[in-house]
């Protein structure tokens, strides 16, 4: 029996942006099961499929670049795996690439990019935003409050934001992902004085550790 590791890149758009990360995991598990793909399982009392998503996506955020690493318990051609899986996925999920990965391939993210497009008119949305972005980038510290289950903590966003600019499409931002943490795109928008609920946020790039 030949075990393999695959890297699957996919996009998530439309109404599926409102489902949670756990729902996406279950969606793929069911699709792979219906497709008859034999997955490698973990050991122990409660085994589960060996599959890892590179970085959970927040509810309401669309993505052009989701990544799933999974292990199969038998040999498949990448084209066969793609055809089987595509036939079982809903229309809001589109496979972009299915390829063999090395056994050492990881799903550890290092940097992620987003574009936030305001739902209001572009002219109204751009009023003063360049100045706010310049002020953000000049700042040594930009703190926000993050609510956790048992407490509220203050997070400094500035070390995590590597790029931030206003474009005709919207606000583009690049965020570092580190072992110490990361920033969320909605937190950056709030720090700029914008309402994340009044913008369409889309993940455009996801970089993994080599």
What is the C-alpha separation between 8 and 12, in angstroms, rounded?
Answer: 13
Same domain, 94 and 113: no
**pLDDT tens, residue by residue, 66-88:** 999 999 999 999 999 999 999 99
Instruction: Provide the pLDDT for residue 188.
Output: 97
Count Cβ atoms below 10 Å from residue 161 Cβ, excluding itself. 21
**pLDDT tens, residue by residue, 156-180:** 999 999 999 999 889 999 999 999 9
Same domain, 152 and 63: no
- Cβ–Cβ < 8 Å for 11, 65: yes
Instruction: Give me the domain span that covers residue 59.
Output: 4-101
- Rounded to the nearest integer, the mean pLDDT of the chain is 92
| Residue that is last in its domain, among 47, 72, 101 | 101
pLDDT class of 181 with cuts at 50, 70, 90: very high
pLDDT at 63 over 90: yes
Same domain, 118 and 194: yes
Average pLDDT for residues 112-131, to the nearest whole number?
78
Cα-flanking dihedrals φ and ψ of residue 141, to 5°?
A: -145, 135
Q: What is the pTM of this model?
A: 0.90
Number of domain units in the chain: 2
């Amino acid at each position: 029996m030949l075990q393999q590791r695959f890297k699957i890149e996919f996009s998530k758009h439309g109404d599926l942006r409102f489902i949670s990360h756990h729902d996406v995991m279950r969606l793929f598990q069911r699709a792979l099961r219906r497709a008859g793909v034999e997955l490698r399982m973990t050991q122990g009392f409660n085994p589960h499929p060996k599959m890892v998503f590179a970085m959970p996506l927040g509810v309401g955020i669309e993505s052009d670049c989701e990544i799933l690493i999974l292990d199969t318990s038998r040999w498949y051609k990448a084209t066969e795996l793609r055809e089987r899986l595509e036939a079982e996925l809903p229309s809001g999920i589109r496979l972009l690439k299915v390829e063999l990965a090395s056994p050492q391939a990881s799903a550890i993210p290092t940097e992620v990019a987003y574009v936030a497009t305001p739902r209001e008119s572009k002219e109204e949305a751009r009023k003063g935003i360049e100045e706010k972005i310049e002020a953000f980038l000049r700042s040594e510290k930009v703190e926000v409050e993050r609510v956790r289950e048992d407490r509220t903590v203050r997070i400094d966003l500035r070390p995590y934001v590597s790029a931030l600019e206003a474009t005709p499409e919207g606000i583009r931002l690049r965020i570092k992902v580190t072992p110490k943490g990361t920033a969320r795109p909605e937190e950056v928008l709030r720090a700029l004085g914008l309402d994340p609920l009044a913008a369409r946020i889309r993940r455009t790039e996801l970089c993994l550790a080599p």
